[in-house]
Chains A and B, each alone.
Chain A
């Protein structure tokens, strides 16, 4: 009996290893969203600047990126300069400020520059839950009808943009 207790650490480790093994199959950067090719879930949320409340129709009318970010997110800081560059190239980006302090978010944009057409505030993270946000940063390509066409988890840089997102983005800009 005493001897059996000594196998408890092994058991704990095996459970951990199983979790890691199943985690391995799920590349956090290429998580297929259950929502791809489905309309953006409806929302009604405040915007960062001003006191308006907007809904999902904000993203109708043209192809846009929906970028999930927060000032607590280290990787978002890495990504930010590239978002600015995209905005300069004319890519329309809507921000989803996720689980964040709005004051800190405003200060961040004032300091680092604002690549967003508009920023929607999801302070409680409810909408993030509906979207299935894994962690920030995360970016969705949303077409002119408000349908999600692609999801990218993690930082967008020049390579990711060129290889993965831009092809999808372009294909929805010019209707086939």
Chain B
């Protein structure tokens, strides 16, 4: 019966979400405090019901209830318990349930943590999220019910989880990514609430900032984890493929980044209000578009879930309703009166605006590349495929320009910066970054443009950040005390920017200096690559819970000293799929990466060896970026100011 309870809870949750989307909103419109106050209990009730439903599905997996079609398709008696758990979100229906669970979680979090907000605003925000949830509940119940039964004769055993997904990365990657994707619904809801209320002061920007930061930090981590997962699980050593589904998560991230920065301008200076609203709407629209691209099967991708046109129509209709409605509202309500405050070109506002423009251009370029095959087909221009060369040729120079802007922008002051202050910093940064970028590549033995540009960008950001830190710490007269006085918001920015520098350096270095070789190796063979010697010891057969594996053993030495023992595997799962598990020795300066290819008869194997310098910096940098986002939220002023503003707002309403 458990699956039926889960299904029933889901139906109840859908009803609650509809109530949540309507009652508080009417309460806010007609000034009924009681109706507004329903927001919190309804949001909490929705979360409880969806969580219960999720637990029911997890229980069906744990108990091998193969009478549930979704369980039968994605699990197996022999699957270890932790993969049974992660299999809950291993395919379309369950991952959508996870999506709804995360959305209910965010809604409840806003309802509870937003106690300090003016009640009418909170009611509107939570109601908008309720409406979004209602759409997804209907999607889930009408097109993708995870609790569907196979009756009367359930299969004796399940078909097993896609082996690509039987991995630690899959346990954590989707929940983190969804936390980010769905978290963008919070700034969206704030923007819509502000437009609905017609109160376009800057208070909403301040309330929105911490939520945006947290969602964006989750999205950063989710994307980085996805890249890392692809790196070690797909077995060919790449870390970004410009696959449509990767792009689908990257575009909201880019707009989220733009939003985080334009929010700073709106909060501090009251400028760019319309622009910030628009970014909040489009960032969430792109997460919905991502859902559409993945679920509808309009584009082919390694990630593609079952392509089902009815699902596509539903998501597209929903997307049209949500985004079209929001933009219509924006058209009617957005402020037309330009803000009075002006700013010069040496101001932080100007450079943040330029950074925003670049981020939007990059997003546009990626959107065009992702949708171009579709667009060309619809317009009858023939069928065209767009590959990594297109994306790289735009993305690389634009990102470098962004790095240069970033370094300068962070150094500037609001309104205007003294020319001398700016000039001295720029000259110093150039004097350091040019020779370092130009010479440092020799550390890896040869000079490459990619590495030089990446390192230049990284050092440029690093030096300018250091100069700013130095100046700020000296302002109080005592440097160490000065450092401690700096606010969490500032430290968050510093950490995130250094993360960007590290990631750019890593991308430049690993693209330039990774070496790889495909070889036929027999037991006892030795091969030199990138200063290391790889010694192939042969292949054993080992057994896992639900697979049989050929496991190679390779000893790596450097100048006679042992460095690592790598165990690449070739697994054949019960379902017949063959998977490559790379053997990786990770390190701060380089990764050693070995993948086992096909057996070539008589003890011989095709083996692929990689030495990848700096590849970890990319993920380490991403982690720093996310950390920066979270640190900034800890800034005291959000808490105190939220309370203060709420008090004033409450007074104003009373």
Chain A interface (Cβ within 8 Å of chain B)?
2-3, 6-7, 9-10, 13-14, 16-17, 19-29, 31, 70, 72-75, 77-78, 81, 84, 99, 107, 110-113, 129, 132-136, 153-155, 158
In order of increasing CB-CB distance, the 3 nearest A-B pairs are A10-B327, A135-B385, A7-B331
For the complex, is B137 an interface residue (Cβ under 8 Å from A)? Answer: no
Q: How many Å from the CB of A145 to the closest CB on chain B?
A: 25
List, in ascending order, chain A residues with CB within 8 A of B491's CB.
none
Query: How far apart sit A73 and B520, CA to CA, in the bound complex (Å)?
Result: 24
Query: Knowing A10-B327, A27-B309, A72-B388 touch, does A113 contact B606 (C-beta < 8 A)?
Result: yes
- Which one of A3, A14, A29, A135 contacts B336 once the chains associate, using CB atoms below 8 Å? A3
User: Which B residues lie within 8 Å of A136 (CB)?
Assistant: 385
B653 contacts A by Cβ under 8 Å? no
Known contacts: A27-B309, A77-B236, A133-B385. The answer to whether A13 contacts B327 by CB under 8 A is: yes
**What 13 new A-B contacts, CB under 8 Å, besides A2-B336, A27-B307?**
A7-B331, A13-B285, A13-B327, A19-B375, A23-B375, A84-B598, A110-B520, A112-B606, A113-B606, A129-B382, A133-B383, A135-B300, A154-B300
B positions within 8 Å CB-CB of A: 234, 236, 241, 243, 274, 278, 281-282, 285, 292, 296-302, 307, 309, 312-313, 316, 319-320, 323-324, 327-328, 330-332, 334, 336, 371, 373-375, 377-378, 382-383, 385, 387-389, 518, 520, 576-578, 597-598, 606, 608
Q: List 10 A-B contacts (CB under 8 A).
A: A9-B327, A9-B330, A19-B371, A20-B371, A22-B378, A24-B298, A28-B297, A29-B307, A75-B302, A113-B597
Q: Closest residue to A21 on the B side, CB-wise? A: B316
Q: How far is the CA of A25 from the CA of B388 in the complex (A)?
A: 26
Set of chain B residues within 8 Å of A13, measured between Cβ atoms: 285, 323-324, 327
Q: Which B residues lie within 8 Å of A22 (CB)?
A: 378
Minimum C-beta distance from A80 to chain B (A) = 10
The majority secondary structure among interface residues of chain A is helix
Q: A24-B316, A28-B300 are in contact. Are A10 and B382 (CB under 8 A)?
A: no
Q: Are B387 and A72 in contact (CB under 8 A)?
A: yes
CB closest residue in chain B, given A71: B236
- Give CA–CA (A136, B302) in the complex, Å: 11
Residues of B close to A78: CB separation below 8 A: 302
CA distance A135 to B374 in the complex (A): 11
Q: A13-B327, A110-B606 are in contact. Are A27 and B297 (CB under 8 A)?
A: yes
For the complex formed, measure the closest distance between the CB of A14 and the CB atoms of chain B, giving whole angstroms.
7
Given A75-B302, A99-B387, A134-B385, decide whether A111 and B608 contact each other with a Cβ distance below 8 A. yes
A134 to B576, CA, bound (A): 29
The smallest beta-carbon distance between A32 and chain B, in angstroms, is 12
How close is A13's CB to chain B, nearest CB, in angstroms?
6
Contacts of A112 in B (CB 8 A): 597-598, 606
B residues near A24, Cβ cutoff 8 Å: 296, 298, 309, 312-313, 316
Contact A111 B518 (CB under 8 A): yes
Nearest Cβ in chain A — how far from B338, in angstroms?
9
Known: A6-B274, A20-B292. A132 touches B382 (CB 8 A): yes
Assess whether A77 is in contact with B388, with CB atoms less than 8 Å apart. Answer: no
Tell me if B373 and A10 are in contact (CB < 8 A): no
Whether B331 and A134, one on each chain, are in contact in the complex, defined by CB atoms closer than 8 angstroms, is no
C-alpha gap A110/B607 in the complex (Å) = 10
**Contacts of A70 on B, CB cut-off 8 Å?**
387
In the complex the two chains form, what is the Cα distance from A46 to B45 in whole Å? 66
Q: Is the CB of A74 within 8 A of B382?
A: no
Q: How far is the CA of A59 from the CA of B576 in the complex (A)?
A: 30
Residue of B nearest to A25 (CB): B309
- Could you tell me the distance in whole angstroms from the C-beta of B191 to the nearest C-beta in chain A? 12
Residues of chain B lying within 8 A (CB to CB) of residue A21: 316
Q: Closest approach, in angstroms, between the C-beta of B353 and any C-beta of chain A?
A: 17
> A135 to B377, alpha carbons, bound, how many Å?
12
Instruction: Give, as a whole number of angstroms, the nearest-CB distance from A24 to chain B.
Output: 5
Of all chain B residues, the one with the shortest Cβ separation from A11 is B327
CB atoms of B518 and A110 under 8 A apart: yes
The residue on B at minimum CB distance from A73 is B387
| Contact of A19 (CB < 8 Å), options: B307, B327, B378, B385 | B378
Q: Which residues of A contact B316 (CB under 8 A)?
A: 17, 20-21, 24
Query: In the bound complex, what is the Cα–Cα distance between A167 and B325 (angstroms)?
Result: 47
- Which residues of A lie under 8 Å from residue B374 when comparing CB positions? 19-20, 23, 26
Tell me the bound Cα distance from A3 to B330 in angstroms. 10
Nearest neighbor of A24 in chain B, beta-carbon distance? B312
- Asked whether B241 lies within 8 Å of A74 as measured between CB atoms, the reply is yes
User: Once the chains are docked, how many angstroms separate the CA of A19 from the CA of B377?
Assistant: 10
A110–B388 alpha-carbon span in the complex (Å)? 23
Complex CA gap A25/B310 in Å reads: 10
Q: Which of B281, B312, B383, B576 has the most CB of A within 10 A?
A: B383
Chain B proximity of A175: nearest CB distance (Å): 31
* Cβ distance B514 to chain A, nearest Cβ, rounded Å: 14
Q: Is the Cβ of A75 less than 8 Å from the Cβ of B382? A: no
**Which residues from B are CB-within-8-Å of A19?**
371, 374-375, 378
If A29-B300, A135-B373 touch, whether A10 touches B388 (CB-CB below 8 Å) is: no
Q: How far is the CA of A37 from the CA of B282 in the complex (A)?
A: 45
Chain B residue contacts of A84, Cβ below 8 A:
598
**CB distance A28 to B278 under 8 Å?**
no
**Which chain A residues border B319 with CB–CB below 8 Å?**
17, 20
- Which residues of the partner chain B approach A23 to less than 8 Å between Cβ atoms? 298, 371, 374-375, 377-378
Query: In the complex, what's the smallest C-beta–C-beta distance from B593 to chain A, in angstroms?
Result: 14
What residues on B are CB-neighbors of A73 within 8 Å?
387
- Min distance, Cβ B580 to any Cβ of chain A, angstroms: 9
Residues of A within 8 A of B324 (CB): 10, 13-14, 17
A158–B162 alpha-carbon span in the complex (Å): 13
Which single residue of chain A is at the shortest CB-CB distance from B319? A17
Separation of A106 and B68 alpha carbons in the complex (Å): 46
The residues of A that contact B373 with a CB separation of less than 8 Å are: 28, 134-135
Given the known interface contacts A99-B387, A134-B383, the answer about A111 and B606 at a Cβ–Cβ threshold of 8 Å is yes
How far apart sit A31 and B323, CA to CA, in the bound complex (Å)? 30
A102 to B: closest C-beta gap in Å: 15
Q: Which residue of B lies closest to A10 (CB)?
A: B327
Please report the C-alpha to C-alpha distance between residue A110 and residue B331 in the assembled complex, in whole angstroms. 58
B241 cross-chain contacts in A, Cβ below 8 A: 74
Instruction: Give the distance to chain A from B246, nearest Cβ to Cβ, in Å.
Output: 10
